[in-house]
A and B are shown apart, each in its own frame.
With several copies, the nearest count.
Chain A
Amino acid sequence: MQAECPECGATIALPAGTMANEIVACPDCGAELEVVNLDPPTLALAPEVEEDWGE
Chain B
Amino acid sequence: MSLRVSIVGASGYVGGELLRLLLDHPHVSIIQATSARNAGRYLYQVHPNLRGRTNLQFVHPDTLQPCDVLFLALPHGEAAQAIERYASLAERIIDCSADFRLRDPAVYQQWYGSAHPAPAWLERFVYGLPEVNRAALTGARYASGVGCNATATNLALLPLVEANLIDRSRPIIADVKVGSSEGGATVNEASHHPERSGAVRSFAPVGHRHLAEVEQVTGLRNVHLSITAIELVRGALATVHAFASRELSEKELWQAYRTFAREQPFIRIVKERQGIYRYPEPKILAGTNYADIGFAYEPATGRIVSICAIDNLMKGAAGSAVQCMNLMCGFAETTALTFAGLHP
In whole angstroms, how far apart are the Cα atoms of A7 and B251 in the complex? 7
Q: Is A39 part of the contact surface with B, judged by Cβ < 8 Å?
A: no
Contacts of A28 in B (CB 8 A): 254, 258, 269, 271
B273 adjacent to A31 (CB under 8 Å): yes
In whole angstroms, how far apart are the Cα atoms of A7 and B254 in the complex? 9
A27 adjacent to B42 (CB under 8 Å): yes
Contacts of A31 in B (CB 8 A): 273
Q: Is B299 part of the contact surface with A, judged by Cβ < 8 Å?
A: no
Known A25-B42, A25-B57, A27-B42; contact A51-B250, beta-carbon cutoff 8 A: no
Q: Is B41 part of the contact surface with A, judged by Cβ < 8 Å?
A: yes
B186 adjacent to A54 (CB under 8 Å): yes
Contacts of B189 in A (CB 8 A): 54
Q: How far is the CB of B317 from chain A (nearest CB, A)?
A: 14
Known A8-B250, A9-B251; contact A55-B190, beta-carbon cutoff 8 A: yes
In whole angstroms, how far apart are the Cα atoms of A53 and B203 in the complex? 8
B40 adjacent to A23 (CB under 8 Å): yes
Residue of A nearest to B58 (CB): A25
B42 adjacent to A54 (CB under 8 Å): no
Q: B interface, how many residues as a size bin?
A: 20 to 34
Q: Is B344 part of the contact surface with A, judged by Cβ < 8 Å?
A: no
Contacts of A52 in B (CB 8 A): 188, 190
Contact among A8, A24, A30, A53 with B251 in the assembled complex (CB-CB below 8 Å):
A8
In whole angstroms, how far apart are the Cα atoms of A8 and B203 in the complex? 20
Cβ < 8 Å to A, chain B residues 206-261: 227, 229, 250-251, 254-255, 258
Contact among A9, A29, A54 with B191 in the assembled complex (CB-CB below 8 Å):
A54
A54 adjacent to B190 (CB under 8 Å): yes
Indicate with 1 or 0, residue by residue over B16-60, a CB within 8 angstroms of chain A CB atoms.
000000000000000000000000111001000000000101000
